[in-house]
Amino acid sequence: MLDLTSNRIKYHEFQERFKKYLTKGCLIYDIGRSDIHDYKETFKDYKYITIDRLKSKNPDLVEDFEGSVFLDQADAVILNGVTEQCDNPFKIFHNIHLILKKGGVALFGIISVGCPLYTWDYLRFTPNGVKHLLKDYKILEEEIVYRGDMPDYIFKIVQKI
């Protein structure tokens, strides 16, 4: 069994760091509702909306971010542990860029190459691949968690420029 405890701890740390870039009441879209944790309490001072393409996950909005997205512009976006499960993660990043306001911030948690593959995984990104995906953003904070010599999880807080 894979131990993801250190990645979860780091993600919770990044959530707290992310909040310092937010203003109370701002609109946050959390794309890809977590099966493990409900973060509504963490973001109770914000207009926090969960989005997932699967109705069975009970998101606030059922939306497939790989298609056309028609949402209000957001002050902030969270995308954690989603890209590896998508047919077209490039479309996800494109759509996030469209809905995020200029100057808006995003928290990305991207599973990298060091984590063992699961049956629902399609694509992993190296640290340079993530850098390329986020070339149109200002990097505010970042950290790579390693498992041995391999990058396992990449966390970035970015701002749309």
Question: Could you please report the per-residue DSSP string of 10-51?
Answer: HHHHHHHHHHTT--TT-EEEEES--SS---TTTTTTSEEEEE
pTM as predicted: 0.86
**What are the pLDDT digits (tens) for 99-143?**
999 999 999 987 777 665 666 666 777 888 888 889 999 999 998
> pLDDT averaged over the chain?
85
**What are the pLDDT digits (tens) for 54-111?**
899 899 999 888 887 888 899 999 998 787 777 888 888 999 999 999 999 999 987 7
Whether 157 and 130 have beta carbons less than 8 Å apart is answered as no
Query: Could you name the CATH architecture of 1-82+92-111+128-138?
Result: 3-Layer(aba) Sandwich (3.40)
Domains of the chain, by residue range, sit at 1-82+92-111+128-138
Helix (H) or strand (E) holding 99: helix 89-99
Predicted local confidence at residue 117, as pLDDT = 61
Predicted local confidence at residue 110, as pLDDT = 79
Query: What length is written for the chain?
Result: 161
- Per-residue pLDDT averaged across 31-51, rounded? 87
Residue 41 above 60 pLDDT?
Answer: yes
Predicted local confidence at residue 114, as pLDDT = 63
Left, alpha or beta for 14 (phi > 0: left; psi -120 to 50: alpha)? alpha
Predicted local confidence at residue 73, as pLDDT = 94
Residue type, position 8, single letter: R
The position carrying tokens 């928290």 is 107
